[in-house]
Amino acid sequence: MSKEISRRYFCRVALAGLCLMTRRRAVADATPSCSSGEETPKETEGPYFKPRSPERRSLLEPGIEGRRLVLSGYVMTPSCVRLPGVMLDFWQADADGEYDNSCFRLRGHQFTDDQGRYRLETIVPGVYPLPPLLHRPRQWESLPSPTNPARKQN
């Protein structure tokens, strides 16, 4: 193959690159419309859950390395009613795929605001034997939840 690049080849590569750059998509697809009628399936809390995490909106601390991630959204009923005051508990692996089991590194909880919104600053979890994920169960069954908004705090 010649070391020279033809103008036609260069233009094709440049155009393909431009098309790829303009067709960027979000990391995750948006949640489908609320009219699906299906509730979120229950899942286990996972092997590394630790109760009584600190309340915070950022899991970032000095020394935590990794690609920054902001996770935000709404907690809603199946009929799309936003739920204020719902507790969300987050814990995850670090950039190396390791969980901190001795302290509360990359762990925390927060409550949705008066519009049912939440926002969490963290990092993209590293490679783990399962697909990368952020855990987010309820800490206590007595708190309001997306599937049972009638629950009240004690």
CB of 125 closer than 8 Å to CB of 133: yes
Given a contact cutoff of 8 angstroms between Cβ atoms, the answer to whether 92 and 128 are in contact is no
pLDDT at 51: 81
Q: How far apart are CA 14 and CA 95, in angstroms?
A: 33
Residue in 59, 77, 79 with CA at minimum distance from that of residue 68: 59
pTM: 0.59
State the pLDDT at residue 110.
96
Model pLDDT, residue 98: 87
How far lies 85's CA from each of 49, 64, 65, 106, 144, in Å? Answer: 21, 29, 31, 22, 7
CB 100 within 8 A of CB 107: yes
Q: Compute the C-alpha angle 86/135/25, nearest 5°.
A: 95
What is the rounded CA–CA span in Å between residue 90 and residue 134?
Answer: 7
For the chain, residues with pLDDT lower than 50 are 1-2, 24, 27, 138-142, 147-148, 151-154
**Any idea which residue has 């009584």 for tokens?**
52
Amino acid at 53: S
β-sheet bridge partners, residue 123: 68
- Give residue limits of the domains in the chain: 47-154
Look up tokens 């987010």; give the residue: 136
In words, the CATH class of domain 47-154 is: mainly beta
Asked whether 130 and 93 are in contact (CB, 8 A), the reply is: no
What pLDDT is recorded for position 50?
78
Nearest by Cα to 107 from 49, 35, 40: 49
